[in-house]
A and B are shown apart, each in its own frame.
Chain A
């Protein structure tokens, strides 16, 4: 049974964990960010961060430097640092965008972060010591529409962005002021800032759909994305940018996450996390639903239930209006909980139903016999 925490009735738009997973930052579809702390067996609200004017659209928590970055529809981003009295202090970041920010991600070394926005550009922000402020550099070409999702390559330079112009692009976000020249990778060797290393279309065969989430694998060679046409695709740079798309039978996914070099989780409007596997030739196939639980038992009091439902809802069927999955509404975000992208044991999902669930592969393995977990 996955562990589930309820945060009220508001949808959770974004969530992020601290390094040892004792603290959780969530945004309940409002301009506030709530920080929860796990103390003595329960989650307590520790602090409310109120600085944004409009809905917070993205939160990311840097594990090693312990900084939180939040971005919002009010075209701003704040970097929050914890002072000695354990209070979180915001620092405004000038993104120089004239539309809402949609997503934010710290880079793996946490020296910079990237913000996607409706202004058709990505702002890569780093801290300039001389002036003691956060500076942003823009990646504009050739993005044609809102950037909906971002993910960093493990080398701290390459950035993947999915957009509503049905494309996924890999850019270089190399900031020469703060880092060394990167070594060449399977995506390319020359990486000046803003250079597009690869572009993938989510609209082959005439199908199309906004790209909702993009994720680099732990090695950085593979990139997975999910689109609104219920498809999931994996591109492999080490195999000459070969792409494998599968158009699934489920409702569209909103988030995806690699949990090993060959397995990835996708979750979304179907309210259930799904496991997909990539074999050696690069082909993706569906491996199973991870929410195999919660079939309502029809117990002996069904006659009573029948009359009750007849009285309340004027119908004699006894099946509930609740879904057979843990989440009762769409899952909006998936985060790693324990482990890393090469080998994850737990991951968390948060949804529109205000529920945050932590899924453990060790428990799921026994529930899903017949699947080999390496």
Chain B
């Protein structure tokens, strides 16, 4: 019997490697800021908050390169808009003051370029961050020399 050897290639796959659980966000960010981020829509809840913390920690505030900043903005928007409304409060409580300031800056930048349904979600974020960090946070968005 002729064996079609080319169809036997699938036996060499180790199927367990391709489990959802093992995929995680590309957390090794290049020095210029996050350029790509690998996403799976049904990643566990804790990953969301970790993702948010990572992008805020690596936010390219000191960079002069506008493309890097825009790329970072896209990544942050993806993270913010993909989180469910119920998770927002938990995420905001997990951040410290400096990160809340950076988050508020991204929220306002996100308002500048609205996409489908983004403003509503961003408003929910804005409300939660304001409840924790007060008006001082918003003032710092306006007065900060280093824009996000």
Contact = CB atoms under 8 A, between A and B. Distances in A.
Interface of A: 166, 203, 205-209, 228-230, 247-252
A217 B131 CA distance: 34
26 contacts: A206-B62, A206-B144, A207-B101, A207-B140, A207-B143, A207-B144, A207-B146, A208-B144, A208-B145, A209-B143, A228-B139, A228-B143, A229-B143, A230-B135, A230-B136, A230-B140, A247-B101, A247-B136, A247-B140, A248-B136, A249-B134, A249-B135, A249-B136, A251-B139, A252-B139, A252-B143
Contacts of B62: 206
A209 to B, nearest CB: 4
Given A205-B98, A206-B61, A206-B62, A250 B136 contact: yes
Interface of B: 61-62, 97-98, 101, 133-137, 139-140, 143-146
B24 to A, nearest CB: 29
B137 A249 contact: yes
A368 to B, nearest CB: 20
Contacts of A247: 97, 101, 136, 140
Contacts of B98: 205
Given A207-B146, A208-B145, A252-B143, 4 more contacts: A205-B98, A208-B144, A229-B139, A230-B136
Contacts of A207: 101, 140, 143-146
B64 to A, nearest CB: 13
Contacts of A209: 143
Nearest to A205: B98
Nearest to B133: A249
A251 B143 CA distance: 12
Contacts of B97: 247
Which 5 pairs, one residue from A and one from B, show the smallest C-beta to C-beta distance?
A249-B134, A206-B146, A230-B136, A249-B136, A208-B145
Given A206-B62, A208-B145, A250 B140 contact: no
A250 to B, nearest CB: 6
Interface centre among B62, B135, B139, B146 (most CB of A within 10 A): B139
Contacts of B146: 206-208
A228 B134 CA distance: 15
Nearest to A203: B145
Contacts of A252: 139, 143
A166 to B, nearest CB: 8
B134 A250 contact: yes
Given A205-B98, A249-B133, A249-B134, A230 B139 contact: yes
A207 B135 CA distance: 15
A180 B25 CA distance: 68
B145 A206 contact: yes
A340 to B, nearest CB: 31
B129 to A, nearest CB: 11
B144 A251 contact: no
A229 B143 CA distance: 6
A250 B137 CA distance: 8
Contacts of B139: 228-230, 251-252
A229 B140 contact: yes
A229 B145 CA distance: 10
A206 B97 CA distance: 14
Nearest to B62: A206
A269 to B, nearest CB: 9
A203 B61 CA distance: 13
A205 B98 CA distance: 9
A249 B130 CA distance: 9
Nearest to A229: B143
A70 B134 CA distance: 37
Interface centre among A205, A228, A230, A250 (most CB of B within 10 A): A230
Interface centre among A228, A248, A249 (most CB of B within 10 A): A249
A107 B144 CA distance: 34
Nearest to B137: A249
Nearest to A228: B143
Contacts of B143: 207-209, 228-229, 252
A208 B147 CA distance: 11
Nearest to B102: A206
A203 B143 CA distance: 10
A165 B105 CA distance: 22
